[in-house]
Amino acid sequence: MAQDEARPGSGSTSGDHGSGPASGTVHPGAAHEGADELVQLIDPHGVRHADVRYDELVADVDGPALRRLYEDMVVVRRIDAEATALQRQGELALWPPLLGQEAAQIGSGRALRADDFVFSSYRENGVAYCRGVDLTDILRVWRGNASSGWDPYSINMATPQVIIGAQSLHATGYAMGIIHDGADSVAVAYFGDGATSQGDVNEAMVFAASYQAPVIFFCQNNHWAISEPVGLQAHVPIARRAPGFGIPSVRVDGNDVLACLAVTREALARARAGGGPTFIEAVTYRMGPHTTADDPTRYRDPNELEDWAARDPLARLAALLDSLGLLDADYADSVKAKADATAATLREGCLAMPEPAPSDVFRHVYSEPNSWLDRQQDHYERYLASFAQASQEGSR
Amino acid sequence: MPTMTFGRAINAGLRRAMDDDPKVVLMGEDIGKLGGVFRITDGLQKDFGAHRVLDTPLAEAGIMGTAVGLAYRGYRPVVEIQFDGFIYPAFDQIVCQVAKLHYRTQGAVKMPITIRVPFGGGIGSPEHHSESPEAYFTHTSGLRVVSVSNPQDAYTMIQQAIASDDPVLYFEPKRRYHVKGEVDEAAPPSSAMGDARVVVEGTDVTLVAYGPLVSTARDAAIAASDDGISVEVIDLRSLAPIDFRTVEASVRRTGRLVITHEAAQSGGLGAEIAASITERCFDYLEHAPVRVTGFDIPYPYSKLEFHHLPDLDRILDGVDRVLRRPNSLSALDADAAVQR
């Protein structure tokens, strides 16, 4: 259970100690005891704890696999830092950092199959990385060069959703389509603690339960919705809500990449077998601002950040690797080199991005000709052309 | 050629679309076993199965949002909104998602969703059951908006709407559901979904209507002809985009334009039509365009609804007004101005 109660108003916080090997899964109709406990396989000190329920789900994760998860997290943190720097240097208009949420995103993202489909918010760049996104595509929106970065069907991941929680319904509808098709893929909706107040998220759970849709609601409870603490959104642990909809839920230590992988695998297996939706609350922490336009010092106690820095998702996996003799200096250097090279590629792609053409503003509003828009485009193009003509005439 | 009611024609069109394309699925409240509160989907669940005709939970945002997900997956959802006034919980999903996803994804994701909305008044219902919300949607880029006025169009245009890769709001005049008309189920569509149609030819006044008021406008044209006035009636059919070429061609001949709709006047479609036609053929106008519409009020309780809804006499008054006939409101305006 939570032993480190946060200050009043920040509501339920994670219990990073003492949850031990207990199962955190709650099934509909089950008593609530256990619901608040976190599934944790690696503690903040990097110590691996045995878990009767979840160990078998990650039995294949050997030393090299742990290293791959570590590399992913280091690279994603480096991407995040580079994008933040690009914003500070004026190359991006805005950036929503994921700092602190690497384990939740990599652990869940690496559990997915290529034919699963992700519907995320704007902070899931770590998940996009797992899906194999082209790095430049991550930045298109934030540089203002496009209204979304990639073709969703190319990596089976919808582009970032800005309307809070709206994507939870899209994932549910997509999952209903999976049932129609007789397929065994799964749709995954990513959203934050703030989104759980939205009607869309609650309606999505109603629909998912009614149709037993193969969908996972992956809630990253990062404790803050811009300036509003999670206690303003939920008076009880968020995971407790799902059983009321008839959806099993689990609370997982969102800073433990192995535990996130395990609970996501369990939910995926349930969905693939026709067992319907699962709600996962990954308890983590947004260590940075909401976006680069935000200033958390106005609303957040610096001690809280310090507390969470002690549970850093990368540090604990590094500690585990070290204890296993898997974090020698050569390896650490190679990971850093890979991260730096990725950041360099990201920067290069950002700076080389072609400028959109003025007429692009009209493109793709409709897929078919539209007399209103075609007329406006025609007028505007002739208007722009008149300047070119005037400047030609002026130069004669 | 068989004769069928308006409602039956929509049903036949839905059936045909479902036969033609297994990706067409219907979603809505009470549309399965009950066949919808207006019975428009009667028998479809029985014939196509509960997996293609989905009774949904009572949550319009949920219906619309899951329709978006189904469209992502390659389906062509046809959503029934039970009554016009119930569409607002779905407004966010329609405006922010359905309308914008094609643009947002630079054409990668299509949203071939048809949103059927029984709309308009005249059936003696309580609040929220008689509204005309079309202008909210015609103002939203990325959507197409149509309204049908007769069984043949209802049959043809529901199929065109479903076949369109763009999202379409399909407004059904609920007070005309029981009107009968001939429907040729074999004939190919006589015009594109976006085309307006001249339903009565005339030379003195152009009268523009859509949905439930097309038959009222036609009646008005007949009544006016008794007075020797020749009214040309245009059924817009498409409200976004509007086929202004057809309206403009008519106004260039008549020089006078009357627009009628049930929806409130200010900021409504009539304003858009008046402005666009004035821009396009100002020099041909003999009189300012006149709007005959519902008032700027919440839809009234049923005993007063026929004061709110434009009827034959109010439309004829509008016709008199553009003709500057002495019995028209123009004359009243002049009197009022003198008194002020």
Cα–Cα distance measured from residue B266 to residue B291, given in angstroms and rounded to the nearest whole number: 10
> Is A366 in Cβ contact with B102 (below 8 Å)?
yes
Q: Within a domain: residue A345?
A: yes
In chain A, the number of structural domains is 2
Chain B residues near residue A180 by CB distance under 8 angstroms: 25, 51, 73, 75
Indicate if A59 and A131 belong to the same structural domain.
yes
Catalytic site residue from B129, B261, B287, B308: B129
The whole-angstrom distance between residue B29's C-alpha and the CA centroid of its chain comes to: 21
B204: DSSP letter? S
Say whether residue A359 is in contact with chain B using an 8 A CB cutoff: no
Contact B164, B112 (CB under 8 A): yes
B147 to A34, B115, B177: CA distances (angstroms): 55, 12, 13
* Nearest-Cα residue of chain B relative to residue A177: B70
Annotation says A54 is catalytic: no
Instruction: Determine the 3-state secondary structure of B124 from DSSP.
Output: coil
Residue A118 bridge partners (DSSP): A157, A188
> Is A199 in Cβ contact with B109 (below 8 Å)?
no
Q: Within a domain: residue A280?
A: yes
A376 to A365, B264, B276, B282: CA distances (angstroms): 13, 27, 12, 19
Q: Which of A203, A188, A193 is nearest to A158 (CA)?
A: A188
The pLDDT of residue A11 is 38
For residue A326, the domain's CATH number is 3.40.50.970
Contact B145, B114 (CB under 8 A): no
**What are the phi and psi torsion angles at A250 (to 5°)?**
-145, 145
User: What tens digit of pLDDT does each residue of B138-162 get?
Assistant: 999 999 999 999 999 999 999 999 9
Omega before B241 within 30 of 0, i.e. cis:
yes
Number of alpha carbons in the 13 Å side-chain half-sphere of residue B59: 19
- Nearest by CB to residue B69, choosing from A176, A199, A364, is A176
Q: What is the mean pLDDT of chain B?
A: 95
Contact A261, A43 (CB under 8 A): no
Cα–Cα distance measured from residue B258 to residue B318, given in angstroms and rounded to the nearest whole number: 6
Tokens 């204890």 sit at which residue?
A323
Q: What tokens appear for B225 in the block?
A: 């002809």
Indicate if A370 and A284 belong to the same structural domain.
no
User: What tens digit of pLDDT does each residue of B287-313 get?
Assistant: 999 999 999 999 999 999 999 999 999
The pLDDT of residue B334 is 56
The pLDDT of residue B337 is 55
Chain A residues near residue B240 by CB distance under 8 angstroms: 372
Burial code (b: 16+ CB inside 10 Å, e: under 16) for B88-117 equals bbbbbbbbbbbbbbbbbbbebbbbbbbbbb
* Nearest-Cα residue of chain B relative to residue A137: B105
Q: Within a domain: residue A33?
A: no
Distance from CA of A80 to the nearest CA of B (A): 23
Indicate if A390 and A305 belong to the same structural domain.
no
A229 to A78, A95, A195, A242, A374: CA distances (angstroms): 27, 21, 12, 20, 47
Which domains does chain B possess?
A: 3-182 (3.40.50.970), 197-339 (3.40.50.920)
More confident of the two residues A287 and B334: A287
Distance from CA of A371 to the nearest CA of B (A): 6
Enclosing domain of residue A368: 361-394
- Name which of B23, B64, B79, B105 to mutate to probe chain A: the one with the most chain A Cβ atoms within 10 A of its Cβ: B105
Indicate if A191 and A306 belong to the same structural domain.
yes
Indicate if A254 and A373 belong to the same structural domain.
no
Annotation says B287 is catalytic: no
Cα–Cα distance measured from residue B269 to residue B281, given in angstroms and rounded to the nearest whole number: 18
Q: What tokens appear for B112 in the block?
A: 């071939």
Q: Within a domain: residue A118?
A: yes
A271: DSSP letter? H
Indicate if A245 and A101 belong to the same structural domain.
yes
Q: What tokens appear for A118 in the block?
A: 């992700």
User: What tens digit of pLDDT does each residue of B94-116 get?
Assistant: 999 999 999 999 999 999 999 99
**What are the phi and psi torsion angles at B27 (to 5°)?**
-135, 140
Contact A158, A166 (CB under 8 A): no
The pLDDT of residue B302 is 95
> Is A363 in Cβ contact with B164 (below 8 Å)?
no
Q: What tokens appear for B338 in the block?
A: 């003198």
> Is A173 in Cβ contact with B68 (below 8 Å)?
yes
Q: Within a domain: residue A6?
A: no
Kindly state the average pLDDT of the residues B35-58. 98
The pLDDT of residue B231 is 98
Q: Within a domain: residue A30?
A: no
> Is A174 in Cβ contact with B108 (below 8 Å)?
no
Indicate if A236 and A376 belong to the same structural domain.
no
Indicate if A222 and A295 belong to the same structural domain.
yes
B90: DSSP letter? G
Residue A60's CB is within 10 A of a number of other CB atoms, namely 8
Instruction: Determine the 3-state secondary structure of B16 from DSSP.
Output: helix
Contact A207, A174 (CB under 8 A): no
Chain A residues near residue B191 by CB distance under 8 angstroms: none
Q: In what order do the strands lie in the sheet with B168-173?
A: B53-55, B24-28, B76-80, B114-119, B168-173, B144-147, B238-240
Q: Within a domain: residue A21?
A: no
> Is B65 in Cβ contact with A151 (below 8 Å)?
no
Indicate if A343 and A371 belong to the same structural domain.
no
> Is B104 in Cβ contact with A148 (below 8 Å)?
yes
Confidence band of B336 (pLDDT split at 50, 70, 90) = low
> Is A371 in Cβ contact with B69 (below 8 Å)?
no
Instruction: Spell out, as residue ranges, where chain A has pLDDT lower than 70.
Output: 1-35, 396
Indicate if A269 and A295 belong to the same structural domain.
yes
* Nearest-Cα residue of chain B relative to residue A365: B103
Say whether residue A373 is in contact with chain B using an 8 A CB cutoff: yes
Indicate if A125 and A268 belong to the same structural domain.
yes
* Nearest-Cα residue of chain A relative to residue B94: A166
Q: Within a domain: residue A31?
A: no
Q: What tokens appear for B79 in the block?
A: 């959503």
Indicate if A267 and A343 belong to the same structural domain.
yes
The pLDDT of residue A17 is 32
Cα–Cα distance measured from residue A313 to residue A74, given in angstroms and rounded to the nearest whole number: 10
Chain A residues near residue B25 by CB distance under 8 angstroms: 180
The pLDDT of residue B246 is 98
